[in-house]
Amino acid sequence: MLRIAIQKSGRLFEDSVSLLRNAGIAFGSSPNRLLRTQASNFPLEIIFLRDDDIPEYVEGNVVDAGIIGENVLLEKQKTVQYVQRLGFGGCRLSIALPKGIPFTGKQSLENLRIATSYPRILESYLSANAVRAEIHEISGAVEIAPSLGLADAIFDIVGTGSTLLANGLKEVETVLESEALLVAHPQLAPEKQEILDRLLFRIQANQNAKSNRYILMNAPNHRIDQIVSIIPGMKSPTILPLATEGWSSLHSVVPETIFWEVLEQLKEAGAEGILVVPIERMIL
Ligand code: ATP
Ligand code: ZN
């Protein structure tokens, strides 16, 4: 049995639950009442915790694995193994100043009082850049600190930036780009490691599927060489003869990030009847 901690409620909750469900793991979730639940079809126990507690629980082996924002993980400075970036919970940790205060570079931060709930990450950023500033640790509502006269600047999580704007602040330095991570205890027992590997295999199959498209097209045979040179598939494309003499059907997998460019080039090279199909699961 592998024990995994996910956030009880908040910004990571829904995506963490979906991640496990999309990996085919069935479990009941009413985490506001239940703090733990067991999957019915996979050797996994799910524990619902406050996100801030997860790094410590993983390090202390109270749980074997966890899903946690990189921002929290770095701040807590716990020793855990990074298993996989998960592609959700994206945000950044940035320094912001009141709009009227000029910023001409890192030296503009010199001697400022900076309010934050991430003192350790801020501390290492300041010392790496040889900036002397005063760190003022507060646990929440950081963005109102300057207008209250508590601080000159803030260092905080930015999602869209609208909270900063609403508080008369401007983002001047991005220190960390964060996303949710799957982490685990550094030394798992072999049977637990095996379950983690199975879980990871499923997560990766979903991630690969999401970042690729399956494409099918028809082309005259004399255009095939040119078309094949355009398609950056996993392996060379599948080529099947069509019933119409002199024509073939080509199938391949194309990364999501470039498939529009590839489509344009394929059309230009004489491909017709191009179909783009989502992939359900993909094992490399
Ligand atoms: P908890 O009650 O579990 O302590 P919390 O209030 O600390 O919850 P949330 O606001 O739910 O935390 O955010 C959890 C994580 O979601 C953050 O640590 C961060 O990694 C990520 N995140 C993504 N986008 C944002 C955002 N716009 N603002 C804050 N956090 C975000
Ligand atoms: Zn928290």
pLDDT of residue 33 exceeding 90, the answer is no
Q: Write down the architecture of domain 2-88+180-208 according to CATH.
A: 3-Layer(aba) Sandwich (3.40)
- pTM, 2 dp: 0.91
| Mean pLDDT on 28-36 | 72
Pocket of ligand 1 (CB under 6 A): 7, 10-12, 50-52, 69, 71-72, 89, 91, 157, 159, 178
pLDDT tens column, 52-74: 999 999 999 999 999 999 999 99
- Residue owning tokens 């030394």: 187
pLDDT tens column, 12-29: 999 999 999 999 999 987
Domain spans in the chain, listed from the N-terminal domain onward = 2-88+180-208, 91-178, 212-277
Q: Residue 280's pLDDT is what?
A: 94
Query: In the chain, what percentage of residues exceed pLDDT 90?
Result: 92
The confidence band for 178, taking pLDDT boundaries of 50, 70 and 90, is very high
Nearest CA to ligand 1 atom 16: 11
Nearest CA to ligand 1 atom 11: 10
The confidence band for 159, taking pLDDT boundaries of 50, 70 and 90, is confident
Query: Which of 7, 11, 85 has the most ligand 1 atoms within 8 A of CB, as the residue to mutate?
Result: 11
CA 283 to CA 200: how far, in whole Å?
A: 12
Query: Which of 9, 51, 183 has the most ligand 1 atoms within 8 A of CB, as the residue to mutate?
Result: 51
Phi then psi for residue 281, to 5 deg, are: -145, 150
Task: Say which ligand is closest to the CA of 140.
Answer: 1
Domains 2-88+180-208 and 212-277 share a fold: no
CATH domain 91-178 topology: D-Maltodextrin-Binding Protein; domain 2 (3.40.190)
pLDDT of residue 283 exceeding 90, the answer is yes
Q: Which amino acid is at 113?
A: R
Q: What is the mean pLDDT of the chain?
A: 95
- Residue owning tokens 């699961």: 281
Q: Write down the architecture of domain 212-277 according to CATH.
A: 2-Layer Sandwich (3.30)
Q: Residue 32's pLDDT is what?
A: 60
Question: Which residues lie near ion ligand 2 (Cβ < 5 Å)?
Answer: 51-52
CA 41 to CA 254: how far, in whole Å?
A: 33
Index of the ligand 1 atom closest to the CA of residue 71: 20
| Mean pLDDT on 28-41 | 80
